[in-house]
Structure 1
Amino acid sequence: MAPGRIIFLNGTSSSGKSSIARELLDILDDRVHFHLSVDGFNAMRTKRPLAADELDAALRRTRSGFHRSIAAMASVGNDVIVDHVLSEPWRLLDCLAVLPPEDVLFVGVHCPPDELARREQARGDRPPGLAAHQYDLVHRHGDYDLECDTGALSPRACAERIRDFLPHRPTPTAFTRLRARHLADGRGAQEAAAR
């Protein structure tokens, strides 16, 4: 069975990843796709209050499980659209360790800071300043197959760019290049597994 393809959207909170993913589900009619969102996984967690250290440990396990769920879905032939915030270095390292790099289209989702702040305020379901805090962290690795700016393009236009780019994916992929850079000696994979 051929593995599924993974369209991996990375950007800050409120950058438009989920909106792009919904549009991709609508326009990618060549194959069946599933939208897997880190927010969706977080929403499945118990709602009881957790102490800070307990919450941190639960969030790390949730994200590690999320990464492995993506890999499992794709490994049995499902095409997956991933919506994630790689705001901590270990998250990228873990994804590089568990996802097949040749099957990942890595898309950077950008949005200007003032627009992020406006969206955050309009949403009302995120702590003020969360996107600003994440802004310099999520794209620090500096390598994508494709980038979209939701401050300049609508979610539909971004989805169309991604759809049109899929047949022209680069070789090696951004995940392949990043994996060679960060996991080549095995230490990065060990660090990711230890966190």
Structure 2
Amino acid sequence: MEQGATGGRIVFLNGTSSAGKTSIARELLRVLEQPYFHMPVDAFHAMRSSVTVSPEDLPEVLRRTWMGFHRAVAGMAASGNNVVMDHVLSEEWRLVDCLGLLVAKDVVLVGVHCPLPELELRERTRGDRPRGLAARQLHQVHAHGCYDVECDTSVQSPAECALRIKEFLAGPPGPTAFEALRSRYHTSSYGC
């Protein structure tokens, strides 16, 4: 199940800032037997020039960045590349945009969970995230409530999470969470 019929597989890691998505992605690149590209949204934000953007213009700049990220991932997968996508679905439009762009049967949606006290500790330890960012994201990130695989990084190591995802990828193909979500968001029927 590593390679999708129409293109590359997408392992879509969704969780708040500091939940452990990047650590899991690194482990996935180490344990998966097919070539994968790690495409974190943070890398796309880091590519933007350091020109000061006014507070009024910032939401639109960020929206265009997220939309470009989604299209870059879709393009890589459409070209037959396997991708580990590191994402934060903290706004519903991001999920809807991805549902319209990505081949649903080729997406493995992974919920990366972590309790708020641990997220706050990680934010303080990291020092490179605005304080309270994860808390602001937590409510919406998992609001869609439908995953193929779920991990709790407060009790599972990144390696354990990666192995769990690898096991899922090796299983028989079947309807994916992304297929159920596409049906829900595009036809108002509920699968999850």
Instruction: Give the TM-score range, shorter chain.
Output: over 0.9
* Helix, strand or coil at the partner of 1:52: coil
Structure showing the higher helix proportion among its residues: 1
Q: Which amino acid aligns with 1:84?
A: H
Deviations 1:118-171 (A, max 9, x none): 000000011100001111110000000110000000111111111111122662
In the alignment, which residue of structure 2 is the partner of 1:11? 15
Deviations 1:100-120 (A, max 9, x none): 000000000000111000000
User: Which stretch of structure 1 is more off in the superposition, 103-112 or 46-55?
Assistant: 46-55
In the alignment, which residue of structure 2 is the partner of 1:131? 134
TM value normalised by structure 1: 0.91
Q: How many residues align?
A: 184
1:102 aligns with 2:105: yes
1:151 aligns with 2:154: yes
Unpaired runs of 5+ residues, structure 2, are none
User: Which stretch of structure 1 is more off in the superposition, 46-55 or 2-11?
Assistant: 46-55
Whole-angstrom distance in 1 between the partners of 2:187 and 2:70: 20
Whole-angstrom distance in 2 between the partners of 1:64 and 1:58: 10
The ranges of structure 1 where at least 4 consecutive aligned residues each deviate by more than 4 angstroms after the TM superposition are none
Whole-angstrom distance in 2 between the partners of 1:160 and 1:169: 16
Q: CA RMSD in A?
A: 1.2
Contact 1:23 1:156 in 2 (8 A): yes
Unpaired runs of 5+ residues, structure 1, are 186-195
* Helix, strand or coil at the partner of 1:53: coil
1:53 aligns with 2:56: yes
Deviations 1:73-126 (A, max 9, x none): 000110000000000000000000000000000000000111000000000011
In the alignment, which residue of structure 2 is the partner of 1:165? 168
TM value normalised by structure 2: 0.93
1:179 aligns with 2:171: no
The 1:42/1:91 distance shift into structure 2, 3 A limit, reads same
